[in-house]
Structure 1
C-alpha cells in the first residue's frame, strides 16, 4: 500500500539535514479568515518563516492526500475552493479515501506533523473545554491528541469563549506541560491575560529547546505547550472584550444555539460587535506565534 502521507521534497530534505522546520495549520485560511485575506495571511506566514531561515511545512489535505509542506498552488486552492471541509484527526482517513480538500485542525495538523518528523508547530489558539462541558462533555480533540505527541506547540492560549479554568485543569490531567513565554499570565487569545495564572515562565527559545531535550531524554511523550500572549498594546480592549463576550453568550443562550454551532456563532458575534477588530487581533496573534515558533525550531535544530 502506498504511503498515504505526502511530505514535500523541501520538507523531507530539511528534516534529513537536521535543518529547522515549522509546521503550520491550514484551518486558519480554509475556515478562520474571510477571502481574500485568508490567502494573504497564509502566504505572509510562509514568507515570515523563510525570512528567519526556517522551512515552512503548511499542512492540509489536497484531493484526498494529507500533505506536509503544501505548495503555493495548493495553499491557493484550499484558500479559494468551495466545499473545503474542516478535518480533525478522526476525519483525516475519511477525507483521504473520499478525495476531499480539507483544512486540518490543531489535532490533525499535530498528528501529521509528528508523523513526518516535524517537531515544532505554530498555531493561533488551541481547542479546549467548552462552557457547560460538565453537562455536554464538549471538549476539543486537540487536548488528548497533543497529550500523545512529542511536539512543541506555540499558541496564544485558548479563545476566551471557552472555559479556560476547566481547560487548564484538563491540561494538567493529560500531562500537558504549559509554560508562558516571558509571563505567568495565561493568555485568552484576544486578550493578553485571561485572568488565570500558570506556574512556569520561559524566557528564550534556547530555554524551550532545553526543556524539550530533557523531556525527550526522560521518555516523556506529550506536547510542550508554549502560551505566547500578544503584546498588550495589540490586544482587543479588555473592557470591550468582556462586554461583547457577555452579550454573545447571552444571545447564544436566548437563541438556543448549542453544540458545534456555538463556536462559530460566538466568533461571528465578536467580529460583528467589534467592527472586525477581533479578526485583526486573530491575525496579530498568528503572526507572533509563527515568529516565535520559527525561532524555537532554530534553537531545537541547534542552528541558533
Structure 2
C-alpha cells in the first residue's frame, strides 16, 4: 500500500530495475538547514555517491507525495523551503493527508527504502538513546525501525548529543548487529570515538558486505548498523566536543526544548561553541559515510548478480 503513495524517480527506478547499487538517505538535514549551504552540501553528497558507482535515493515529502529519489529541482525546493517539521514514522499518514512538503527522518526513510527493496542507507549520525533517558524515556524511533527493516545503515555512530553506551545497550536489546568498518570503537559523529567499543570489527568493505549479505539472506530480523568514523583531520577534539554538547543540552533544558526540536537547537549551539568547526565536520562526515555506503552497495550488488556468497 505504501507504494501507492510513493513516486520513484526515473533515475532510481532505472537503477533498481537494472539491479544497480542504490543508496537511500533521509532529508531532514536538507529541509532543516540554511539555504543555499544545505542545497550545496546535499549536491556534494549526491555527487560523491554517483562518483562511487551508486545511485542516490533521497526520501522526502513533496506536496503530500512520498518521493524516493529527488530531481535537482525538487531537492532545491526542499532546501529552500526550510521547513522546521520533519516526518518520522508516526507522522507519515498525517503528512500525506495534509499535502506536506518537508524532509523525512531516518525512521520514515527506512520504511520507504526497504519497501522498494533498497539494501543500503547512509546517514551521518543515527538517532539513539538520549542522555537522561532513564527518566525521560527519550529514545529515537530510528532504532525501532532499524530493528524492523531489512536494510544496512552506514553512519558515523550516534549523534554527539546522545548517550553512546545506552544506545549500544538498546541496539543489543533489539538484536541489531553493530559492526565497525576498520574500527573497534563506536564513533561519536563529530568525533572518532565515543569511548565505547563495537561488538564486531571488520577491516574491509568486502567483509562488511559479506556480513550484511548473510544477515539479509538468512532472514534474520531487522537490519545492520555499520559504523565508519569521521576522518581524523575533520574530527573535533573529545574535550571540546563534550563541553560544547553539555553546554548546549543545559541551554536546551533551560529553554524547555525537547523531542524532535532538541537536535537542531543543540547542533546550532555546538556550531557556535566550536566556531563553526562542527559545520565543517558535519559536511565531511556526510560525504565519508555516503561514499562508504556506496562502496558497500556496490559489493553487495556484485555478489548478488554473480550468485556468489560474497
Q: Deviations over 1:6-34 (max 9, x none)?
A: 11122122112111111122111111x32
Q: Classify the secondary structure of the residue corresponding to 1:302.
A: helix
CA distance in 2, matches of 1:248, 1:176: 30
Verify the 8 A CA contact 1:84 1:103 in the aligned structure 2: no
Number of residue pairs aligned between Structure 1 and Structure 2: 303
1:253 deviation in Å?
4.2
Aligned residue in 2 for 1:24:
25
Q: What are the equivalent positions in structure 2 for 1:276-287 lying under 5 Å apart?
A: 276-287=276-287
1:255 deviation in Å?
4.7
Verify the 8 A CA contact 2:31 2:82 in the aligned structure 1: no
Aligned residue in 2 for 1:97:
97
CA distance in 1, matches of 2:65, 2:269: 34
RMSD: 1.8
Verify the 8 A CA contact 1:78 1:84 in the aligned structure 2: no
Q: Classify the secondary structure of the residue corresponding to 2:86.
A: strand
1:257 deviation in Å?
4.2
Aligned residue in 2 for 1:34:
34
Aligned residue in 2 for 1:180:
180
Verify the 8 A CA contact 1:160 1:188 in the aligned structure 2: yes
Aligned residue in 2 for 1:296:
296
Verify the 8 A CA contact 2:127 2:141 in the aligned structure 1: yes
Verify the 8 A CA contact 2:181 2:208 in the aligned structure 1: no
Q: Does 1:7 align with 2:8?
A: yes
Q: CA 1:117–1:272 in 2, change beyond 3 Å: closer, same or farther?
A: same
Q: What are the equivalent positions in structure 2 for 1:151-166 lying under 5 Å apart?
A: 151-166=151-166
TM-score, normalised by the number of residues in structure 2: 0.92
Q: What are the equivalent positions in structure 2 for 1:189-208 lying under 5 Å apart?
A: 189-208=189-208
Please, which moves more after superposition, 83-92 or 94-103?
83-92
Query: Could you list the runs of 5+ residues in structure 1 that have no partner in the other structure?
Result: none
Q: CA 1:82–1:24 in 2, change beyond 3 Å: closer, same or farther?
A: closer
Q: Does 1:54 align with 2:54?
A: yes
Aligned residue in 1 for 2:86:
86
Q: Does 1:244 align with 2:247?
A: no
Please, which moves more after superposition, 288-297 or 265-274?
265-274
Query: Could you list the runs of 5+ residues in structure 2 that have no partner in the other structure?
Result: 304-309
Verify the 8 A CA contact 1:158 1:189 in the aligned structure 2: yes
Q: CA 1:262–1:25 in 2, change beyond 3 Å: closer, same or farther?
A: closer
Verify the 8 A CA contact 1:181 1:228 in the aligned structure 2: yes
1:263 deviation in Å?
2.9
Please, which moves more after superposition, 198-207 or 252-261?
252-261
Q: Deviations over 1:68-116 (max 9, x none)?
A: 1111110011000254631001111211121110201000111111111
Q: Deviations over 1:17-53 (max 9, x none)?
A: 111111122111111x322110001111111111222
Verify the 8 A CA contact 2:26 2:105 in the aligned structure 1: yes
Q: Classify the secondary structure of the residue corresponding to 1:197.
A: coil
Please, which moves more after superposition, 9-18 or 116-125?
9-18
Q: CA 1:17–1:270 in 2, change beyond 3 Å: closer, same or farther?
A: same
Verify the 8 A CA contact 1:25 1:60 in the aligned structure 2: yes
TM-score, normalised by the number of residues in structure 1: 0.94
Q: Classify the secondary structure of the residue corresponding to 1:214.
A: helix
Verify the 8 A CA contact 1:180 1:200 in the aligned structure 2: yes
Q: Deviations over 1:252-286 (max 9, x none)?
A: 44555444443333222211111111111111111
